[in-house]
């Protein structure tokens, strides 16, 4: 049974003081919902503040990026060794990093390997844009991304990571994929590609999230789909009540299975 995982991607929002307040506003209610893994991913500069709130609990803490070297002359970058002191997770290959900062599957693959070598759990993002979707290229494109970001990984490493399927046209638009549509890509493309690479027994164990305008109103329907194992939440993760409602929906769905 795959444990659902809900991660809040705070993107470039919240000062350290605000981040501490938001985490504190969520903490007790998150702790009360134990049937889902819940992860907060604030900006780098907020990690210490949120760590102070969640340390010693089973609320996960994640970063939104890393640079795949241990240390050195990489001005402005943050290494997995640094993250490891505070975090258990790291979002890698988000479409905003791919789009605005030119990150390739190859570079993301280096980051995935680096994160794994430090014991961090990568949440690796894939997803097509609107034109690709409309041209019917979703399957081939997303499958290619999955192959690219997982290249050279052993099966035991693939079991340690989480994949997030985030169609770019659904991110921040208020227009989520339909539950059936998201499930179709997650099961029929992402999990199927992992099965081709590593076999069905491995693919069955890998957790795959949906992301893109998931919110308190649509979460239950998305999370009820058999191949959707959680969510990567942007806008709704910045509101305590909404994020808690999504985590609760994940826990309820699991309870009902």
Question: Which residues have a catalytic role annotated?
Answer: 94, 166
Nearest-approach distance from CB 242 to ligand PGA, in angstroms = 10
Distance CA 137, CA 144 (A): 11
By DSSP bridging, strand 5-9 and strand 230-233 are parallel
Q: Kindly state whether residue 167 participates in binding ligand PGA, applying the rule CB under 6 A.
A: no
Beta bridge partners of 90: 63, 122
113: closest CA among 77, 62, 67?
67
Query: If DSSP codes are grouped into helix, strand and coil, which group holds residue 62?
Result: strand
Taking the least distance from each CB to ligand PGA, the nearer of 197 and 238 is: 238
Q: Which contacts (CB < 8 Å, 24+ apart) does range 224-228 have?
A: 224/179, 224/253, 225/179, 225/180, 225/182, 225/183, 225/186, 226/183, 226/187, 227/183, 227/186, 227/187, 227/191, 228/179, 228/182, 228/183, 228/186
User: Closer to ligand PGA at the Cβ: 211 or 230?
Assistant: 211
Q: Is 171 in the site for ligand PGA (CB under 6 A)?
A: yes
Residue 172 binds to ligand PGA (criterion: CB under 6 A): yes
64 is a site residue for ligand PGA (CB under 6 A): no
Kindly state the smallest distance separating residue 81's Cβ from ligand PGA, in Å: 25
Q: Which residue has the tokens 């709130």?
A: 53
Q: Rule CB under 6 A: which of 207-226 touch ligand PGA?
A: 211-214
Residue 233 interacting with ligand PGA (CB under 6 A): yes
Quote the least distance from Cβ 79 to ligand PGA, whole Å: 23
Instruction: Tell me: does residue 99 bind ligand PGA (CB under 6 A).
Output: no
- Rg (C-alpha) for the chain, rounded Å, is 17
x/- contact string, 2-31, with ligand PGA (CB under 6 A)?
-------x----------------------
Smaller CB distance to ligand PGA: residue 60 or 211? 211
Tell me which H or E stretch contains 41.
Answer: strand 37-41
Q: Does 50 bind ligand PGA (CB under 6 A)?
A: no
Q: How many residues bind ligand PGA (CB under 6 A)?
A: 13
Q: Is 122 in the site for ligand PGA (CB under 6 A)?
A: no
Contact between residue 181 and residue 225 where contact means Cβ atoms under 8 Å apart: no
DSSP helix/strand/coil, 187: helix
Closest to ligand PGA by CB, 68 vs 212, is 212
Interface residue list for ligand PGA (CB under 6 A): 9, 166, 171-172, 211-214, 232-236
């Amino acid at each position: 049974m795959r444990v659902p995982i809900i991660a809040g991607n705070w993107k470039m929002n919240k000062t350290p003081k605000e981040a501490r307040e938001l985490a504190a506003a969520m903490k007790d209610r998150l702790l009360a919902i134990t049937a889902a893994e819940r992860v907060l991913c604030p900006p780098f500069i907020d990690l210490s503040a949120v760590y102070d709130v969640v340390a010693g609990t089973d609320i996960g803490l994640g970063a939104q990026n890393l640079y795949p070297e241990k240390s050195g002359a990489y001005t402005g970058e943050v290494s997995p060794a640094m993250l490891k002191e505070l975090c258990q997770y790291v979002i890698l290959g988000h479409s905003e990093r791919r789009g605005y900062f030119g990150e390739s599957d190859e570079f993301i693959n280096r980051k995935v390997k680096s994160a794994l070598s430090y014991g961090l759990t990568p949440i690796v993002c894939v997803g097509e844009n609107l034109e690709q979707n409309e041209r019917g290229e979703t399957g081939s494109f997303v499958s290619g991304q999955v192959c690219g970001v997982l290249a050279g990984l052993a099966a035991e490493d693939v079991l340690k990571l989480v994949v997030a399927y985030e169609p770019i046209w659904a991110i921040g638009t208020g227009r989520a994929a339909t539950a059936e549509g998201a499930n179709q890509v997650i099961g029929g493309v992402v999990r199927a590609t992992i099965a081709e690479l590593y076999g069905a027994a491995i693919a069955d164990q890998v957790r795959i999230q949906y992301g893109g305008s998931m919110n308190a109103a649509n979460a239950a329907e998305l999370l009820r789909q058999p191949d959707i194992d959680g969510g990567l939440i942007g806008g709704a993760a910045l509101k305590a009540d909404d994020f808690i409602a999504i985590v609760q929906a994940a826990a309820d769905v699991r309870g009902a299975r």
